[in-house]
């Protein structure tokens, strides 16, 4: 029987009953993985059914039962979403190793919807960061930022090392605001959103001292001759611009040695915060938390 005959049969059952099968051409528009659809058995030379990697735990979500979903940033596999079965049970052997901020050795099995953590051993838990509210607030902000900026399963080794070095710098007692702004700028750069810091984003002329503004929506500095929408113009002093340029070129160890005045710290936080909001088109949950901690610290000081 031809395909055409089968098509006719779809609407008009042929004598002898409805057709049980038909043929047609088709353009494949989309593919979905399904629950219960068993993955094919392993083939020699085929993709592995399990793998191991290090990962920084960016975020953890509660799931049904006692399960948890975590997002981790890995050195070579990018951001992964993983299920941790029974993680919220007191007896869980995995749960404690998968707290947010931990660097953890992971054993992972390929799953249907999400891959599944089968083994976890914390390698660095950054207790010094978790015990200090200012450091914790900045660290959680950076984790959320990385989680939102990084696409899934696309390698971003620079972002991984940037975050890991930031956590180590915070644990070593480096200035939390410097570490956070340096890492924030680095994460923007790694995902293709590095703000322009040297020449006017509109006319391309080199920026002269004191003759510039910062416009997050345009992607960096604008000279004072070019028009920019007044509502989106942020002030950026020469000192703040110098610090940003320094951050863009240096690692966190050097960057966090820069002593930021209160004014510079506020300007950098506002300017980079505006860039982050522009890129992500949303507020970060932890941004308000950082602000409240800062406020408390200043009142207590």
Residues that bind Zn ion (CB under 5 A): 200, 202-203, 223, 226
Smallest distance, Zn ion to C-beta of residue 86, A: 58
Tokens found for residue 297: 């610290």
CB count within 10 Å of CB 78 equals 18
* C-beta of 65 vs 208, nearer to Zn ion: 208
Core vs surface per residue 238-251: b (16+ CB within 10 A) or e: eebbebbeebbeee
Smallest distance, Zn ion to C-beta of residue 210, A: 14
CA-nearest of 111, 117, 163, 161 to 142 is: 163
Place of tokens 């057709």: 19
Smallest distance, Zn ion to C-beta of residue 35, A: 55
CB 198 within 8 A of CB 220: no
Smallest distance, Zn ion to C-beta of residue 204, A: 7
* C-beta of 226 vs 274, nearer to Zn ion: 226
Please measure the distance between the N-terminal and C-terminal CA atoms of the chain and give it in whole angstroms: 86
CB 116 within 8 A of CB 109: yes
Q: What is the largest CA-CA distance in the chain?
A: 90
* C-beta of 196 vs 239, nearer to Zn ion: 196
Place of tokens 């989309």: 30
* C-beta of 167 vs 228, nearer to Zn ion: 228
Smallest distance, Zn ion to C-beta of residue 256, A: 32
Smallest distance, Zn ion to C-beta of residue 31, A: 47
* C-beta of 69 vs 202, nearer to Zn ion: 202
CA distance 62 to 125: 20
* C-beta of 148 vs 200, nearer to Zn ion: 200
Smallest distance, Zn ion to C-beta of residue 185, A: 22
CA-nearest of 280, 276, 266 to 235 is: 266
* C-beta of 41 vs 227, nearer to Zn ion: 227
CA distance 145 to 98: 18
Rg (CA), the chain: 26
């Amino acid at each position: 029987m031809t395909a055409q005959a089968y098509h006719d049969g779809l609407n008009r059952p042929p004598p002898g009953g409805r057709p049980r099968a038909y043929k047609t051409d088709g353009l494949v528009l989309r593919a979905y993985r399904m629950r219960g659809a068993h993955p094919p058995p392993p083939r020699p030379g085929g993709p592995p059914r399990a793998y191991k990697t290090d990962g920084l735990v960016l975020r953890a979500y509660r799931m049904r039962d006692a399960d948890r979903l975590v997002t981790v940033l890995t050195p070579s596999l990018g951001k992964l979403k993983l299920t941790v079965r029974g993680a919220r049970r007191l007896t869980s052997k995995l749960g404690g190793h998968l707290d947010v901020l931990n660097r953890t050795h992971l054993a992972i099995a390929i799953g249907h919807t999400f891959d599944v953590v089968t083994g976890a051993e914390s390698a660095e838990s950054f207790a010094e960061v978790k015990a200090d509210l200012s450091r914790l607030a900045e660290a959680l902000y950076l984790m959320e930022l990385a989680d939102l900026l990084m696409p899934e399963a696309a390698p971003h080794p620079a972002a991984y090392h940037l975050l890991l070095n930031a956590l180590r710098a915070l644990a070593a007692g480096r200035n939390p605001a410097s570490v956070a702004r340096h890492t924030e700028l680095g994460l923007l750069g790694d995902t293709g959103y590095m703000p322009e810091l040297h020449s006017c984003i509109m006319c391309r002329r080199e920026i002269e001292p004191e003759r510039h503004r910062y416009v997050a929506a345009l992607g960096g500095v604008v000279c004072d001759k070019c028009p920019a929408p007044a509502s989106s113009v942020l002030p950026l002093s020469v000192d703040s611009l110098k610090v940003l340029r320094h951050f863009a070129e240096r690692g966190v160890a050097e960057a966090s040695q820069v002593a930021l005045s209160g004014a510079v710290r506020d300007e950098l936080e506002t300017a980079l915060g505006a860039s982050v909001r522009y890129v992500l088109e949303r507020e970060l949950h932890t941004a308000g938390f950082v602000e409240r901690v800062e406020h408390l610290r200043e009142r207590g000081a």
